[in-house]
């Protein structure tokens, strides 16, 4: 069975995850993280993608970004992945694949869903019990988004910009979002949408994307397609 075409649209935020093969490590030393971030910035600019948030975990990567061309995400991830694998294989005298197949992604609705993805990404080290507070983890965007650390990599999303009228007020409001953990149901929504290449948002947003792409953008109903008795057609939303 051919794999499903990736759901992507320019101008819409994408949540992305890429895992190490068999969940093995893909970062081994501080220089590895630094090189990855440097190439991420380079290829994001060349592919016309704005990076809003990221975290580099030991065996996987999360990003929130907005592409400005139809092929921006694919171009960025392909070039970044290949460059990084070449570096790792050369540095550690290894061969073969590093990543677990192709990256996973979902389109993300503006407003609360974008800010939820910011939090989901930067709270990853907390959920992994690696640190007690996101500020303690050096390989994420939290320092720039919440503490004003200088970054040439990040472009704040409009949802972040609307948190306040000044940089200080925005950072303060953003910090307040981290006083509480994400709800389990919202975490499940983000994971399901990203792993399944679906859309993260409310029903209205899902319908808008479905019309724009002319394809299903939410999980289908398990089982055989059902017959619509009113017009004797198959239910297009069943798998």
What separation, in Å, do the N-terminal and C-terminal C-alpha atoms of the chain show? 13
Q: pLDDT at position 220, please?
A: 63
In the predicted model, is pLDDT for residue 228 greater than 80? no
Q: pLDDT at position 214, please?
A: 79
How do residues 167-216 score in pLDDT, each as one tens digit? 999 999 999 999 988 999 999 999 999 999 999 998 888 888 888 887 87
Q: pLDDT at position 141, please?
A: 98
Count of domains in the chain?
1
Domain presence at residue 232: no
Residue 114 structural domain:
14-201
This prediction has a pTM of: 0.89
How do residues 102-128 score in pLDDT, each as one tens digit? 899 999 998 779 999 999 999 999 999
Q: What is the CATH number of the domain that holds 191?
A: 3.30.70.1290
Neighbours of 136 (CB within 10 A): 11
CA distance 141 to 154: 8
- Torsion angle (degrees, nearest 10) of CA 133, 138, 144, 146: 0
CA distance 128 to 123: 9
pLDDT, the chain, mean = 89
Domain presence at residue 216: no
Domain presence at residue 239: no
236 or 53: which leads in pLDDT: 53
What's the half-sphere exposure (Cβ side, CA atoms, 13 Å) at 203? 0
Mean pLDDT of 206-228: 69
């Amino acid at each position: 069975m051919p794999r499903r075409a990736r759901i992507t649209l320019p101008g819409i935020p994408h949540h992305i995850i890429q895992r190490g093969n068999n969940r093995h490590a893909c970062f081994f030393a501080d220089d590895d993280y630094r090189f990855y971030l440097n190439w991420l910035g380079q290829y994001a600019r060349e592919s016309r993608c704005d990076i809003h948030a990221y975290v580099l975990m030991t065996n996987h990567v999360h990003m929130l970004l907005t592409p400005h061309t139809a092929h921006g995400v694919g171009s960025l991830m392909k070039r970044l992945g290949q460059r990084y694998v070449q570096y790792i294989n050369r540095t550690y005298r290894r061969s073969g694949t590093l990543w677990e197949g192709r990256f996973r992604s979902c389109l993300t609705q503006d407003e609360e869903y974008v800010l939820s993805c910011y939090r989901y990404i930067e709270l990853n080290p907390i959920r992994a019990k690696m640190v007690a507070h996101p500020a303690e983890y050096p390989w994420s965007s939290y320092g720039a988004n919440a503490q004003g650390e200088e970054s040439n990599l990040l472009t704040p999303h409009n949802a972040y910009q609307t948190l306040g009228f000044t940089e200080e007020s925005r950072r303060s409001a953003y910090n307040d979002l981290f006083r509480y953990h994400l709800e389990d149901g919202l975490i499940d929504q983000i994971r399901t949408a990203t792993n399944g290449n679906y859309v993260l948002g409310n029903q209205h947003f899902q319908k808008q994307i479905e019309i724009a792409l002319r394809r299903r953008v939410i999980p289908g109903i398990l089982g055989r397609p059902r017959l619509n008795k009113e017009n004797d057609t198959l239910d297009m939303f069943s798998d």
